[in-house]
Structure 1
Amino acid sequence: MPAFFYRPPSRLWPPLLLGSQLVFNIGFYAVVPFLAIFLRDDMRLSGGAIGLVIGLRTFSQQGMFLLGGALADRFGARGVILCGCLVRISGYLLLALGATLWPIVLGACLTGIGGALFSPSIEALLAKAGTQSEAAGKRSRAEWFALFAVCGELGAMLGPVLGSLLAGFGFQRVALAGAGVFVLALLVLFFTLPRTPRKQAALHIAPWWQTFRNRRFVAFIVAYSAYLFSYNQLYLALPVELRRSGSSESDLGPLFVLASLLIIALQLPLARLARRCGAARILPLGFALLAAAFASVALFAADTPPAGWQRLLPAVCMVTLLTLGQMLIVPVGMDLIPRFASDQNLGAHYGALASMGGLAVLAGNFALGGQLDHALTPSPQAALPWLWLAAVPLCSALAMVFICRPFTRAARAGSR
């Protein structure tokens, strides 16, 4: 075989990263939303056990982002991205071929670990490419991340469609299709991703923890973690509301499509608005919208659901407000990370951000997941779990007012 087949290109093409996010999300959302149904119907697990498995999957991905980011800083993003694809393929194969509970649990965790390897690496590459684009007077870094989110949501819309088409053939076929998507992504990225610089020094634990020496950064990622916890409730709390309203799981698909369409239509305009308003205004507003999403469900929780499509109104409000909050929070939050980091440990900072989110999901679901049992049927007590959920992002909204204040002063000083 000619030698040039083994030579990656010398320059990074930013749209390649956007396309990778699209394909990765197609492969993810074609499988993971159907995992809970498989665990309940085929594996006969209880609701608490299903929540634990899904929580472990989330934590194995978000909680390992810090390691994935550090590995990207040390060994280069290209190799770590390719390894992440291989790990996720292995996880999907275990989900497809496993006949007992423990291979399924291991497969679910491997799917998360694979994402922990390739996601912070791609985000770090996009941050560097966005910085170069902005310095050249082209598209800003925040706008690149907004496009990144749009591509991700397009994949999140197409993925469940692919999964639904294959669901009638069994979850194993769905998982095999997801593995096939990542095999295709692996081959394309192998030949198109450029080589990235590697540090010659040995990998130590100390560089990972340097990200926590900045107290303001620690406060930021703790407050920001409420976003991932809140958005994760689309998998844990939203099905509870659908059951309370007498809806079926088939209504989950249209609700996810609604979220994706909102992001595709509004992400770029809201990103431009956020850039004009600044982080000190946008992040508190975004987290307030997350709190309002849960509060809107609490308003209906005690009432007997009406007949017809009106029964879905609380769920639609929840999905809409969560999505609007996400669209404001994510591009601004991602754009702030380089202000805390240097080029040498940018991946570790993005990893720390995601790892803290994984801890928040695991701890929050453990602390409040059981409370959602009270929300399964209409009653005065059914509103309490939703109010507890609303309190988490509300605290972050208040915290962001103070955390982002120095960035506002710096922006004003730079405009003089």
Structure 2
Amino acid sequence: MLSLFARRTTRVYPPLLLGSQLVFNIGFYAVVPFLAIFLRDDMLLSGWAVGLIIGLRTFSQQGMFLVGGALADRFGARVIILCGCMVRISGYLLLALGDSLVPIILGACLTGVGGALFSPAIEALLARASNESEQAGKRSRAEWFALFAVCGELGAVLGPVLGSLLTGFGFQRVALAGAGVFIVALAILFFFLPQTPRRSGELRINPWWKTFHQPRFVAFIIAYSAYLFSYNQLYLALPVELHRSGSSEKALGPVFMLASMLVIVLQLPLARIARRIGAAHILPLGFFLLASAFFSVALFAAAPPPEGITRLVPAMLMVSLLTLGQMLIMPVGMDLIPRFADEHNLGAHYGALSSMGGVAVLLGNFLLGGQLDHALTPSPQAATAWLMLGIVPLCSAFAMIAICRPFRRGNRL
């Protein structure tokens, strides 16, 4: 069955991977930002239950990246990417057609499993292709990953707009639209994604703590997991802040558009600056920005929201600071992974990074999701949840100062 996806060409072109990220993010951001609102307002679930489901969705994706990366290393990226698209399509169809909580949870998890299959495979392909580019004296690997982020953010602009246009017809129509986007992506990749090398022998998926006997790498992925946990709050905590401010779900589109425009305009310049300054300084700064995103909302949480557009100021501050932190952290962190891996088993190393992030999201959302119920309305207690959210990346900022100290240009671990 896997041989049906074989292709003759083996050369990987980075622009094809960038275009795939664009389309994938259109399909993702058309659906997932509205899932928490659907669970809370339509299914009447409490904050901890919404947090658990959002955490399960993220864990089923990020937590399974290690498996997806190992499968891509074993069977080749192309077949795993195509299978991931089909799994995500099935998850969106369950979200669209399910009429009870069980199929909704299953659909949410399947959307995550699909991403766990195609995302590490695409990242590993981009790492190899961009490494060839860098060795040829062309665009560097960090710059290719920055472009990768820009294309993702272009999709993040179009996705919420598509979702916002369909929210009046119900969440099910939004999920159907997301499935349609991934059907288009599946067709394009089937014909244009080249064959990638496969490994012979048995498939072995070892736990990261046995596969990577590198204490610094283990410490790095634990500290780095606060990035995914923090950025995941765009789907869990941001709708809560919009509810506190009296804004509707249609405000998600413009707020996400703000984040995307920041990335489109600033990602490449910041990536070049980060490359010159180095990981030892950039990663702690990025995590400090993530922490400040939540602390800034805490300053407004107890006060009644003002009238007019100014009610969106806390949400816009949160999204802007999270996005700035992401723009510093993501390209630098992705560029460090091949140095830990020494250019071998890249899919598994990227998978381990994302799997630890999935664990952080699942545990963090479950433990702190209930606190967000108190942040739905202005009160002194509303600030507590935001302060607790900010402590997580703040701890990682201090950890990164120690973890990244040995990194200097040209150094190996």
**Could you say whether these structures have the same fold, taking a TM-score greater than 0.5 normalized by the shorter chain as the test?**
yes
- 115-124 vs 364-373, greater mean Cα deviation: 364-373
AA in 1 matched with 2:308: G
Question: Would the aligned equivalents of 2:338 and 2:344 in 1 still touch at CA under 8 Å?
Answer: no
Partner of 2:138: 138
- 222-231 vs 382-391, greater mean Cα deviation: 382-391
> Which string of whole-angstrom CA distances, capped at 9 and with x for unpartnered residues, describes residues 61-87 of structure 1?
111111001111111111111110111
In 2, the alpha carbon distance for the partners of 1:359 and 1:237 equals: 18
Partner of 2:177: 177
- 263-272 vs 365-374, greater mean Cα deviation: 365-374
> Which string of whole-angstrom CA distances, capped at 9 and with x for unpartnered residues, describes residues 255-300 of structure 1?
1110011001100000000000000010000000011111111122
> Which string of whole-angstrom CA distances, capped at 9 and with x for unpartnered residues, describes residues 315-360 of structure 1?
1111111100000000000000000114441100000000000000
Partner of 1:63: 63
Give the 3 Å change call, closer, same or farther, for CA 313–189 of structure 1 in structure 2.
Answer: same
Question: Would the aligned equivalents of 1:290 and 1:321 in 2 still touch at CA under 8 Å?
Answer: yes
In 1, the alpha carbon distance for the partners of 2:192 and 2:115 equals: 19
SS of the residue 1:237 aligns to: helix
In 2, the alpha carbon distance for the partners of 1:209 and 1:412 equals: 24
TM-score of the superposed pair, with normalisation by structure 1: 0.94
In 2, the alpha carbon distance for the partners of 1:194 and 1:412 equals: 33
SS of the residue 1:206 aligns to: coil
Give the 3 Å change call, closer, same or farther, for CA 207–241 of structure 1 in structure 2.
Answer: closer
In 2, the alpha carbon distance for the partners of 1:385 and 1:211 equals: 37
Give the 3 Å change call, closer, same or farther, for CA 301–338 of structure 1 in structure 2.
Answer: same
Partner of 1:273: 273
Give the 3 Å change call, closer, same or farther, for CA 70–412 of structure 1 in structure 2.
Answer: closer
Give the 3 Å change call, closer, same or farther, for CA 117–6 of structure 1 in structure 2.
Answer: closer
SS of the residue 2:267 aligns to: helix
Question: Would the aligned equivalents of 2:10 and 2:196 in 1 still touch at CA under 8 Å?
Answer: no
AA in 1 matched with 2:75: F
Question: Would the aligned equivalents of 2:267 and 2:327 in 1 still touch at CA under 8 Å?
Answer: yes
Once the 2 structures are TM-superposed, how far is the Cα of residue 412 of structure 1 from its aligned partner?
7.2
Once the 2 structures are TM-superposed, how far is the Cα of residue 188 of structure 1 from its aligned partner?
1.1
Partner of 1:398: 398
Give the 3 Å change call, closer, same or farther, for CA 238–170 of structure 1 in structure 2.
Answer: closer
Question: Would the aligned equivalents of 1:8 and 1:191 in 2 still touch at CA under 8 Å?
Answer: no
Q: Superposition pairs for residues 67-146 of structure 1, below 5 Å?
A: 67-146=67-146
SS of the residue 1:406 aligns to: coil
Counterpart check, 1:163 vs 2:173:
no
Question: Would the aligned equivalents of 1:8 and 1:190 in 2 still touch at CA under 8 Å?
Answer: no
Once the 2 structures are TM-superposed, how far is the Cα of residue 6 of structure 1 from its aligned partner?
6.8
> Which string of whole-angstrom CA distances, capped at 9 and with x for unpartnered residues, describes residues 168-197 of structure 1?
333222222211211111111111111111
In 2, the alpha carbon distance for the partners of 1:152 and 1:190 equals: 20
SS of the residue 1:119 aligns to: helix
In 2, the alpha carbon distance for the partners of 1:138 and 1:393 equals: 34
AA in 1 matched with 2:243: R
Question: Would the aligned equivalents of 2:229 and 2:360 in 1 still touch at CA under 8 Å?
Answer: yes
Partner of 2:310: 310
> Which string of whole-angstrom CA distances, capped at 9 and with x for unpartnered residues, describes residues 130-177 of structure 1?
110000000000000000000001101101111222233332222222
- 385-394 vs 346-355, greater mean Cα deviation: 385-394
Q: Superposition pairs for residues 192-211 of structure 1, below 5 Å?
A: 192-206=192-206, 209-211=209-211
Question: Would the aligned equivalents of 1:87 and 1:111 in 2 still touch at CA under 8 Å?
Answer: yes
In 2, the alpha carbon distance for the partners of 1:299 and 1:38 equals: 28
In 1, the alpha carbon distance for the partners of 2:74 and 2:342 equals: 14
Once the 2 structures are TM-superposed, how far is the Cα of residue 365 of structure 1 from its aligned partner?
1.1
AA in 1 matched with 2:220: F
Question: Would the aligned equivalents of 1:211 and 1:349 in 2 still touch at CA under 8 Å?
Answer: no
Structure 2 gap segments, 5+ residues each: none
In 2, the alpha carbon distance for the partners of 1:19 and 1:320 equals: 25
**How many pairs does the alignment contain?**
408
Give the 3 Å change call, closer, same or farther, for CA 164–383 of structure 1 in structure 2.
Answer: closer
In 1, the alpha carbon distance for the partners of 2:99 and 2:376 equals: 31
SS of the residue 1:12 aligns to: coil
Give the 3 Å change call, closer, same or farther, for CA 78–209 of structure 1 in structure 2.
Answer: farther
Once the 2 structures are TM-superposed, how far is the Cα of residue 12 of structure 1 from its aligned partner?
1.2
Question: Would the aligned equivalents of 1:81 and 1:121 in 2 still touch at CA under 8 Å?
Answer: yes
Give the 3 Å change call, closer, same or farther, for CA 152–375 of structure 1 in structure 2.
Answer: same
Q: Superposition pairs for residues 253-272 of structure 1, below 5 Å?
A: 253-272=253-272
SS of the residue 1:380 aligns to: coil
Partner of 1:229: 229
In 2, the alpha carbon distance for the partners of 1:281 and 1:158 equals: 33
Question: Would the aligned equivalents of 1:8 and 1:192 in 2 still touch at CA under 8 Å?
Answer: no
Partner of 2:334: 334
Question: Would the aligned equivalents of 1:211 and 1:352 in 2 still touch at CA under 8 Å?
Answer: no
Give the 3 Å change call, closer, same or farther, for CA 395–42 of structure 1 in structure 2.
Answer: closer
In 2, the alpha carbon distance for the partners of 1:221 and 1:41 equals: 35
In 2, the alpha carbon distance for the partners of 1:216 and 1:289 equals: 23
AA in 2 matched with 1:124: A
Give the 3 Å change call, closer, same or farther, for CA 168–311 of structure 1 in structure 2.
Answer: closer
